[in-house]
C-alpha cells in the first residue's frame, strides 16, 4: 500500500497495532475496549512503572518496556524503540499519552502511520498544561485533536477533533475530565477509520471516506432558542 495516500480499499484486512504509553493509559484502555478490527495489539511503554501496563496485561494484551533511562540519548532510544516496533510489523503506531519527544528520524520512518491525541483543539495550545492555558486565555471552546505525527511537535494533519464548552466554574481538573471523556470517544473512532482504510491524507488535509456528517454547531455559551 502506498503509505503517502491511504486509500479506501483495505477494510477487509485485519491489522496490527502498536500502542505507546508512558502513564495511566486511559486512552489505551479505551482503544483496547473498542473491539477494533485488529489481529494483533502490542503495548509498549518507555516507563516500567506506567499504570497502563497492568491494564493491558489484565486484558491479555502483550506488553513491553523500552526504558528510555537505559539509553544515553534520544536517538539511541528511538532506534531501540523502532527495532522493537518493527518486530511487530504494525500497520499503525498509536501514541496514547507517550511522554517522550520523538526524533525526526523516528517520525519520518513511520510517516502516515503514526498518530497522536492531544488535549487541545490544535493548532491552539500545543505542548503541556493545555487545560490551564485554555482557562488562562479565556477561550470559550476547548477540546482534543487526533492527528498524524510530523516532526514538529503537536502538529500534523488533523484527523478528528472534539470540542467541549468551558463553563464558568471550571477548574483545570474539571475541564481535563470533560476533555478526556471526549478523547476516549474520538481516539477509537479515528483508529477504526485508519484500520478500515478510510483516511486519505491529501496535502495536509485528511479526508474521511464514506462518513456521514451531521450539521451541528457548538456555541459556548449557549445561545437562546
Ligand atoms: C491525554 O490527555 C492525552 O491527550 C495526552 O496525554 C494524556 C494521556 O492520558 N497526550 P492517558 O495516559 O491516556 O490516560
Domains observed in the chain: 12-208 (3.40.50.170)
CB 143 within 8 A of CB 179: yes
Q: Per 3-state DSSP, what percentage of the chain is helix, strand, and coil (rounded to 5)? A: 30, 25, 45
In this prediction, residue 7 carries a pLDDT of 45
pLDDT at 14 over 80: no
188 lines ligand 1 (CB under 6 A): no
The model's confidence at residue 219, banded by pLDDT at 50, 70 and 90, is confident
Question: What value does the mean pLDDT take over residues 86-101?
Answer: 97
126 lines ligand 1 (CB under 6 A): no
pTM score: 0.93
Q: Regarding predicted confidence, which is higher, 221 or 84? A: 84
97 lines ligand 1 (CB under 6 A): yes
**From ligand 1's centre to the CA of 55, what distance in Å?**
15
Nearest residue to 45 (alpha-carbon basis) of 20, 12, 15, 81: 20
Nearest ligand 1 atom, CA 28: 13
24 lines ligand 1 (CB under 6 A): yes
Residues annotated as catalytic (active site), given as ranges: 118
Nearest residue to 144 (alpha-carbon basis) of 174, 122, 177, 113: 122
Nearest CA to ligand 1 atom 6: 97
Q: What is the pLDDT of residues 33-59, one digit of tens each?
A: 999 999 999 999 999 999 999 999 999
SS3 140: coil
Q: What is the pLDDT of residues 114-152, one digit of tens each?
A: 999 999 999 999 999 999 999 999 999 999 999 999 999
In this prediction, residue 13 carries a pLDDT of 63
CA-derived radius of gyration, the chain: 18
pLDDT at 109 over 60: yes
Give the residue ranges of DSSP H helices in the chain: 26-32, 51-58, 74-87, 104-109, 130-137, 172-195
In this prediction, residue 210 carries a pLDDT of 78
In this prediction, residue 5 carries a pLDDT of 47
**From ligand 1's centre to the CA of 96, what distance in Å?**
6
117 lines ligand 1 (CB under 6 A): yes
Burial 179-215 (b: 16+ CB within 10 A, else e): bbebbbebbbbbbbbbbbbbbebeeeebebeeeeeee
Nearest residue to 74 (alpha-carbon basis) of 47, 105, 45, 50: 105
Nearest ligand 1 atom, CA 95: 10
**From ligand 1's centre to the CA of 212, what distance in Å?**
28
Amino acid at each position: 500500500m502506498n503509505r503517502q495516500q491511504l486509500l479506501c480499499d483495505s477494510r477487509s484486512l485485519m491489522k496490527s497495532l502498536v500502542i505507546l504509553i508512558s502513564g495511566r493509559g486511559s486512552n489505551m484502555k479505551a482503544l483496547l475496549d473498542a473491539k477494533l478490527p485488529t489481529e494483533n495489539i502490542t503495548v509498549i511503554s518507555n516507563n516500567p512503572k506506567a499504570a497502563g501496563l497492568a491494564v493491558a496485561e489484565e486484558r491479555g494484551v502483550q506488553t513491553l518496556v523500552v526504558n528510555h533511562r537505559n539509553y544515553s540519548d534520544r536517538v539511541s532510544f528511538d532506534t531501540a524503540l523502532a527495532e522493537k516496533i518493527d518486530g511487530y510489523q504494525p500497520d499503525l503506531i498509536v501514541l496514547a499519552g507517550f511522554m517522550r519527544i520523538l526524533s525526526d528520524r523516528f517520525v519520518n520512518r513511520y510517516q502516515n502511520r503514526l498518530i497522536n491525541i492531544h488535549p487541545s483543539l490544535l493548532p491552539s495550545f500545543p505542548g503541556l498544561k493545555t487545560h490551564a492555558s485554555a482557562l488562562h486565555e479565556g477561550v470559550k471552546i476547548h477540546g482534543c485533536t487526533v492527528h498524524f505525527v510530523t516532526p514538529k511537535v503537536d502538529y500534523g494533519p488533523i484527523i478528528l477533533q472534539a470540542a467541549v464548552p468551558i463553563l464558568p466554574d471550571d477548574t483545570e481538573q474539571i475541564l481535563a475530565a470533560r476533555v478526556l471523556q471526549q478523547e476516549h470517544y474520538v481516539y477509537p473512532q479515528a483508529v477504526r477509520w485508519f484500520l478500515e482504510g478510510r483516511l486519505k491524507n491529501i496535502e495536509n488535509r485528511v479526508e474521511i471516506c464514506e462518513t456521514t456528517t451531521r450539521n451541528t454547531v457548538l456555541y459556548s455559551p449557549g445561545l437562546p432558542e
